[in-house]
Amino acid sequence: MTEVSEKSIELVKNVHMQFSASIALKQQLFEGVYFEQLVLMAEKVAAAIKKGGKLMLCGNGGSAADAQHLAAELLVRLRSDCNRESLPAISLALDTSTLTACGNDYGFDRIYERAVEGLGKPGDILLAITTSGRSKNILLALEMAQKKGITTFGFLGGSGGPAAALCQMAFVVPSSETNRIQEVHITAGHVLMDLVEQLVVKA
């Protein structure tokens, strides 16, 4: 039998603590009224898609990965038992050439703003994913979306930051811990994509 070291025991306790914190935050949301926002967002996204619009998503770091992940759920499919036509969604963390060209020519802050300006149109929806709500490139993208008549949604954290005022609807996770916020964001994102799929396919 393998002897368990004191260090291993401490690590197991740490794992337990992190899982407990994640569960507690989701439980806090579960007992609140936060879910109504997800339903309203899903209805707006589904309506936009039915009218020829698309969902654009953007974020930084792990939130950029979430944006790509969720876009794929609509472009391909979320559930294996739901075979349907591809639904229009695009992550604005595009290719390395676009990202580096904009970073070099205009600065990193304008990467998503330029993408929204070139790809967005009235009737589209922009979902900005940011745990702080303060990322300059996200704020500029939301401002550009507003100028173009594009509906703005946010997956935010904490108090929502400046991004909250630029979002017509926002799902705000009441936490200051980035990892915990991201864990809730991807869960909420899966729920949102599932609802959109149901509303578009089963309508």
| Same-domain pairing of 1 and 86 | no
- What does each of the 203 residues of the chain score in pLDDT, given as a tens digit? 456 687 788 889 999 999 998 898 888 888 766 788 999 999 999 999 999 999 999 999 999 999 999 999 999 988 778 788 999 999 999 889 999 999 999 999 999 999 999 999 999 999 999 999 999 999 999 999 999 999 999 999 999 999 999 999 999 999 999 999 999 999 999 999 999 999 998 75
| Same-domain pairing of 4 and 74 | no
Q: Which residues contact 165 (CB under 8 A, 6 or more apart)?
A: none
| Same-domain pairing of 102 and 71 | yes
pLDDT at 1: 45
* Alpha-helix runs per DSSP H in the chain: 6-30, 35-50, 62-75, 96-105, 111-119, 136-147, 163-166, 178-201
| Same-domain pairing of 25 and 43 | no
| Same-domain pairing of 56 and 151 | yes
| Same-domain pairing of 174 and 106 | yes
Sheet with strand 125-129: strands edge to edge:
89-91, 55-59, 125-129, 151-157, 169-173
The structural domain count of the chain equals 2
pLDDT at 5: 80
| Same-domain pairing of 15 and 94 | no
| Same-domain pairing of 4 and 90 | no
Tell me, what CATH number does 165's domain have?
A: 3.40.50.10490
Is the pTM here over 0.95, yes or no?
no
| Same-domain pairing of 86 and 1 | no
| Same-domain pairing of 188 and 110 | yes
| Same-domain pairing of 16 and 46 | no
Full domain range(s) for residue 60? 33-201
| Same-domain pairing of 9 and 72 | no
Q: For the chain, report the end-to-end CA distance as a whole number of angstroms.
A: 58
pLDDT at 195: 96
